[in-house]
Chain A
Amino acid sequence: GQNIDQPTEMTATEGAIVQINCTYQTSGFNGLFWYQQHAGEAPTFLSYNVLDGLEEKGRFSSFLSRSKGYSYLLLKELQMKDSASYLCAVRDRGYSTLTFGKGTMLLVSP
């Protein structure tokens, strides 16, 4: 079966750095994706990793270790608008289908 774990909730302060972890155990692996979803809105693609290592995109970075089944999303210089749910998703089949974790609700306070 598929198992993707993320913390349910996290809180952080504006301007700080936060790391959201994701561990996975899936029958296959063809990449790990991070999405941001504000309440009532569509998930927005943030970052993906296929190979081990760090991918940086502005204030967001994502890391992958395939041997450990582990990824994290790093958010720097937090802003209030970063308060949202962050979804870790694994592409576990040949098609671009995604299995999502339950999401981490991040609350950024002033």
Chain B
Amino acid sequence: DTEVTQTPKHLVMGMTNKKSLKCEQHMGHRAMYWYKQKAKKPPELMFVYSYEKLSINESVPSRFSPECPNSSLLNLHLHALQPEDSALYLCASSQGAEGINQPQHFGDGTRLSIL
């Protein structure tokens, strides 16, 4: 079990659906991250939130829309996804975005399949 909780664990959706991925941490971390991981590939950074503000968007398509309602929660809203978006979506958090000795702690991920 990790201290970063992601729901749902699995999600199957059609290309016209709208769904949301949720991430929660109660470690007092002020930086939160979304990563995308394809099979047998490393995680690829999508978004970084620092103190509830979007700090980094790695040129992610607008069909992915992040939201940080408060310091403990991070959402990823999905709309009109493509089959190639099928992947494991990982959420991570760290104490702060700008310190140096702050490892990221990952959730177990949501395995997303687009039909």
When chains A and B are docked, how far (Å) is the Cα of A45 from the Cα of B4?
13
* Contact across chains for A42 and B56 when beta carbons are under 8 A apart: no
Is B50 engaged at the interface, CB distance under 8 Å to the other chain?
A: yes
* Contact across chains for A98 and B104 when beta carbons are under 8 A apart: yes
* Contact across chains for B101 and A31 when beta carbons are under 8 A apart: yes
Main secondary structure of the interface of B (DSSP, over half): loop
Given contacts A42-B90, A42-B109, contact A96 B42 (CB under 8 A): no
* Contact across chains for B43 and A96 when beta carbons are under 8 A apart: no
Total cross-chain contacts (CB, 8 A)? 63
Task: Point out the residues of chain B lying under 8 angstroms from A42, CB to CB.
Answer: 2, 4, 90, 106-109
Give the interface residue-count category, chain A. 20 to 34
Of all chain B residues, the one with the shortest Cβ separation from A94 is: B98
Is B105 engaged at the interface, CB distance under 8 Å to the other chain?
A: yes
Is B73 engaged at the interface, CB distance under 8 Å to the other chain?
A: no
* Contact across chains for B45 and A96 when beta carbons are under 8 A apart: no
Q: Which 6 A-B pairs have the closest CB atoms?
A: A100-B42, A42-B106, A45-B103, A95-B97, A42-B108, A96-B94
